[in-house]
A and B are shown apart, each in its own frame.
Chain A
Amino acid sequence: MRNLIKGFGLGALALAATFAGPAAQAQGYPEKPITIVVPFPPGGSTDLLARKIGEAISGPLGQPVVVENRGGAGGTVGANYVAQSDPDGYTLLMGVTGSNAISAALRDDLPYSPTEDFDPVSIVISSPLVLVVNSESPYTSVEDVIAYAKENPETFTHGTPGVGTSMHMAAELFGLESGTKLVHVPYKGSAAALQDLLGGQIDSMFGDILVTSEYVKAGRLRPLAVTGTKEHYLLEGVPTMAEAGLTNYAAFSWQGIFAPAGTPPEVLDKLYGAISDAVASDDLQALFKERGFLVEGMPPAESKTFIASEVEKWTKVVDAAGLKN
Chain B
Amino acid sequence: MDLWHGIQIGLQTALSWHTLMFCFIGVTVGTFVGVLPGIGALAAISLALPLTYYIDPTDALIMLAGIFYGAQYGGSTASILLNLPGTATAAITCLDGYPLAQQGKAPLALFVTAVNSFVGSSLAIVLVMGFAPVIAEFALEFGSAEYFAVILLGLVAASTMTLGSPFKALAMVVFGLALGQVGTDINTGQFRYTFGILELADGFSLVAVAMGLFGVAEIIANIGQPQGVLHKVGKIRFADMWPNRSEWKQIWWPTLRGTGIGSFIGALPGTGPGIASLMAYAVEKRISKTPERFGNGALEGISSPEAANNASVQAAFIPTLSLGIPGDAVVAVLLGAMILHGITPGPNLINDQPQMFWGLIISFWVGNLMLLVLNIPLIGLWVKLLTIPYHLLYPGVLIFICLGVYSADNNVFDIFVVLGFGIIGYVMRRTGFPATPVLLGFILGPLLEEHFRRAMLLSKGNILIFFERPISAVFMVISLIFLASVFLPGLRARLSRGRASTAD
A touches B in complex, CB < 8 A: yes
Q: Please give, as numbers and ranges, the residues of chain B lying within 8 Å of A199 by CB-CB distance.
A: 140-143
Q: Please give, as numbers and ranges, the residues of chain A lying within 8 Å of B187 by CB-CB distance.
A: 163, 186
B interface residues, tally (CB under 8 Å): 53
Q: Chain B, 307-327, contact with A by CB distance < 8 Å: what is the 0/1 string?
A: 000000000000100011110
Evaluate contact between B410 and A111: CB separation under 8 angstroms.
no
The A-contacting residues of B in range 103-141, CB under 8 angstroms, are 140-141
CA distance A68 to B416 in the complex (A): 21
The B-contacting residues of A in range 11-46, CB under 8 angstroms, are 41-45
CA distance A195 to B336 in the complex (A): 16
- Return B503 CB to nearest CB of chain A, in Å: 53
Q: Chain A, 193-210, contact with B by CB distance < 8 Å: what is the 0/1 string?
A: 011101101100000001
Evaluate contact between B336 and A72: CB separation under 8 angstroms.
no
The residue from A41, A157, A210, A325 contacting B344, defined by CB atoms under 8 A apart: A210
The residue from A43, A202, A214, A215 contacting B458, defined by CB atoms under 8 A apart: A202
Q: Please give, as numbers and ranges, the residues of chain B lying within 8 Å of A68 by CB-CB distance.
A: 410
| Residue in B closest to A165 when the chains form the complex, CB atoms | B189
Q: Does A162 interact with chain B (Cβ within 8 Å)?
A: yes
CA distance A51 to B336 in the complex (A): 14
A interface residues, tally (CB under 8 Å): 54
CA distance A199 to B268 in the complex (A): 13
Q: Does B53 interact with chain A (Cβ within 8 Å)?
A: yes
Evaluate contact between B189 and A290: CB separation under 8 angstroms.
no
Q: Chain B, 137-166, contact with A by CB distance < 8 Å: what is the 0/1 string?
A: 000111110000000000000000000000
Q: Chain B, 410-421, contact with A by CB distance < 8 Å: what is the 0/1 string?
A: 111100100000
CA distance A67 to B191 in the complex (A): 29
Evaluate contact between A73 and B345: CB separation under 8 angstroms.
no
CA distance A44 to B46 in the complex (A): 10
Q: A44-B336, A220-B347 are in contact. Are A162 and B189 (CB under 8 A)?
A: yes
Evaluate contact between B198 and A43: CB separation under 8 angstroms.
no
Evaluate contact between B201 and A106: CB separation under 8 angstroms.
no
Q: Please give, as numbers and ranges, the residues of chain B lying within 8 Å of A70 by CB-CB distance.
A: 409-411
Q: Chain B, 227-265, contact with A by CB distance < 8 Å: what is the 0/1 string?
A: 000000000000000000000000000000000000000
The residue from A77, A183, A188, A201 contacting B186, defined by CB atoms under 8 A apart: A188
The A-contacting residues of B in range 25-61, CB under 8 angstroms, are 46-47, 49-50, 53
Q: Please give, as numbers and ranges, the residues of chain A lying within 8 Å of B196 by CB-CB distance.
A: 109
Q: Please give, as numbers and ranges, the residues of chain A lying within 8 Å of B480 by CB-CB distance.
A: none
The residue from A73, A111, A201 contacting B184, defined by CB atoms under 8 A apart: A73
Q: Please give, as numbers and ranges, the residues of chain B lying within 8 Å of A301 by CB-CB distance.
A: none
| Residue in A closest to B338 when the chains form the complex, CB atoms | A43
Evaluate contact between A80 and B347: CB separation under 8 angstroms.
no
Interface centre among B143, B191, B201, B410 (most CB of A within 10 A): B410
Q: Please give, as numbers and ranges, the residues of chain B lying within 8 Å of A194 by CB-CB distance.
A: 324-325
Q: A77-B198, A191-B269, A191-B332 are in contact. Are A186 and B410 (CB under 8 A)?
A: no
Q: Does A246 interact with chain B (Cβ within 8 Å)?
A: no
Evaluate contact between A163 and B450: CB separation under 8 angstroms.
no
CA distance A100 to B462 in the complex (A): 39
- Return A259 CB to nearest CB of chain B, in Å: 20
Q: Please give, as numbers and ranges, the residues of chain A lying within 8 Å of B186 by CB-CB distance.
A: 162-163, 186-188
Q: Does A320 interact with chain B (Cβ within 8 Å)?
A: no
Evaluate contact between B189 and A164: CB separation under 8 angstroms.
yes
Evaluate contact between A189 and B49: CB separation under 8 angstroms.
no
Q: A77-B199, A196-B143 are in contact. Are A183 and B457 (CB under 8 A)?
A: yes
Q: Does A273 interact with chain B (Cβ within 8 Å)?
A: no
Evaluate contact between A41 and B342: CB separation under 8 angstroms.
no
The residue from A72, A164, A323 contacting B199, defined by CB atoms under 8 A apart: A72
Q: A44-B336, A77-B409, A199-B142 are in contact. Are A69 and B342 (CB under 8 A)?
A: no
- Return B172 CB to nearest CB of chain A, in Å: 25
Q: Does B454 interact with chain A (Cβ within 8 Å)?
A: yes
Evaluate contact between B199 and A42: CB separation under 8 angstroms.
no
Q: Does B496 interact with chain A (Cβ within 8 Å)?
A: no
Q: Does A76 interact with chain B (Cβ within 8 Å)?
A: yes
Q: Chain A, 104-139, contact with B by CB distance < 8 Å: what is the 0/1 string?
A: 001001010000000000000000000000000000
The residue from A74, A164, A192, A218 contacting B346, defined by CB atoms under 8 A apart: A218
Evaluate contact between A72 and B346: CB separation under 8 angstroms.
no
CA distance A51 to B454 in the complex (A): 37
The residue from B141, B197, B409 contacting A41, defined by CB atoms under 8 A apart: B409
CA distance A2 to B458 in the complex (A): 41
Listed in ascending order, the chain A residues whose CB lies under 8 Å from chain B are 1-2, 41-45, 47-48, 51, 67-74, 76-77, 80, 106, 109, 111, 157, 162-164, 183, 185-189, 191-192, 194-196, 198-199, 201-202, 210-211, 213-215, 217-218, 220, 290, 323, 325
5 pairs of A and B residues whose beta carbons are closest in the complex: A214-B346, A163-B189, A43-B336, A73-B201, A199-B140
Q: What are 10 sample pairs from A and B whose C-beta atoms fall under 8 A apart?
A: A1-B416, A42-B47, A157-B458, A188-B270, A188-B450, A198-B140, A210-B339, A214-B347, A215-B346, A218-B346
